[in-house]
Structure 1
């Protein structure tokens, strides 16, 4: 293989479209993704930090949004119904440091507001739980498909509040 034809390693890249469109190496895991989607309903994915969970969730987002061109040449391409597009709600707790319950609540409200605007919905509820429920219900009604909810870095607010690994809960800040 000549140097000009070599692909780049996707170090630190967590966006599926950046990898596929940017000429990076990509290990095709879409056969496993297809099996997950076909065989189950809810999943809790627990793997070590920096182990590809965010990239996996972004791949799922692109898949359910029906972005077919990104999957050309991959195992799942001929197995997926590209005519069906699902509304996707993706909530990520990766940004910032949340050191209090109030900061966490504000962050969740910001995430829900951003998803509401992206999906062009209007929410009436004022509580976080009500907004979350309404966001899912309205997205389903507007787009006529089941809603896909992806939550990334769910544990980061907990880790932000530990003073030291293994410390008891009474030692947490906030």
Structure 2
């Protein structure tokens, strides 16, 4: 097997897959299983565990960029004749210290999406803009809309030491996320990620069809690398390393199913594999 580049810190599916220059562990079987199983999902995983990359994989899949999936499971198992409009939001960058900061972020992201789809804002507030954007996209495209939200909880966690401020941000997010319930007839698929366990009562009130797959054994390895992944995908990087030591040091994550390696830590090891304890 030919050695490839290590995708350290890369969260963009297209960048990894273009020219297939980087190693990639195929997570599209999980993506297709999710889509077949239902329409509204939540996943919690630690930071730097591949959540953003999986979300971006879903985006490229729904948008129908088949060229990026050549040789992967989805290539021959997905209906590429349909392309869905995708709205992706991310709160992973920067610190949102107040409701005003959150509103600025929402308005900026909504503005970018409205410009992309050539649908100017019709309302000044983020909630109404979000709701109308979903409706107009569904009507204009003839397809239901996909909504992907990365690090849904980070604005709250950014101010978790200030309970009053965190509660204000939580309430503002609750108002924004309530659009997902109101827009259900126009939605094809919704996927949210974060690092903390969500509360349907405090943040997603009424969104009773949101399935939490965090500890679903079928999706224990939806992010991260399994033993089989390390031995097959990363085989060219293993000669000279003590495989049992790598397993003992890095294969310690489990969500009631298959154990996985933290991808970021493993990739750093493979980039600098000269720690004496890990050499054969």
Task: Judge same fold: TM > 0.5, yes or no.
Answer: yes
Q: Give the Cα–Cα distance (whole angstroms) in 2 for the partners of residues 46 and 145 of structure 1.
A: 28
User: How far does the alpha carbon of each residue in 1:148-172 deviate from its partner, in whole angstroms, 9 at most, with x for none?
Assistant: 0001111211121134xxxx72586
Q: Give the Cα–Cα distance (whole angstroms) in 1 for the partners of residues 138 and 165 of structure 2.
A: 42
Structure 2 partner of 1:31? 29
- TM-score of the pair, normalised by structure 1: 0.90
**Pairwise CA distance, 1:95:** 2.0
Structure 2 partner of 1:91? 89
Structure 1 partner of 2:154? 156
In structure 1, stretches of 5+ residues that fail to align are none
Q: Are the aligned partners of 1:8 and 1:23 in contact in 2 as well (CA < 8 Å)?
A: yes
Structure 2 partner of 1:169? 163
Q: Are the aligned partners of 1:99 and 1:173 in contact in 2 as well (CA < 8 Å)?
A: no
Q: Give the Cα–Cα distance (whole angstroms) in 1 for the partners of residues 94 and 118 of structure 2.
A: 26
- TM-score of the pair, normalised by structure 2: 0.57
Structure 2 partner of 1:104? 102
User: How far does the alpha carbon of each residue in 1:74-95 deviate from its partner, in whole angstroms, 9 at most, with x for none?
Assistant: 0111111111000000011122
Q: Secondary structure at the match of 2:131?
A: helix
In structure 2, stretches of 5+ residues that fail to align are 169-280
Structure 2 partner of 1:45? 43
The structure that has the greater radius of gyration is: 2
Q: How many residues align?
A: 167
C-alpha RMSD of the superposition: 1.8
Q: Give the Cα–Cα distance (whole angstroms) in 2 for the partners of residues 132 and 62 of structure 1.
A: 21
Which residue, 12, 15, 25 being the options, matches 2:12? Answer: 15
Q: Give the Cα–Cα distance (whole angstroms) in 2 for the partners of residues 170 and 35 of structure 1.
A: 40
Q: Secondary structure at the match of 1:43?
A: strand
**Pairwise CA distance, 1:29:** 1.3
Structure 2 partner of 1:61? 59
Segments of 4+ moved more than 6 angstroms: none
Q: Are the aligned partners of 1:14 and 1:55 in contact in 2 as well (CA < 8 Å)?
A: yes
Which residue, 114, 137, 140 being the options, matches 1:139? Answer: 137
Q: Are the aligned partners of 1:161 and 1:173 in contact in 2 as well (CA < 8 Å)?
A: no
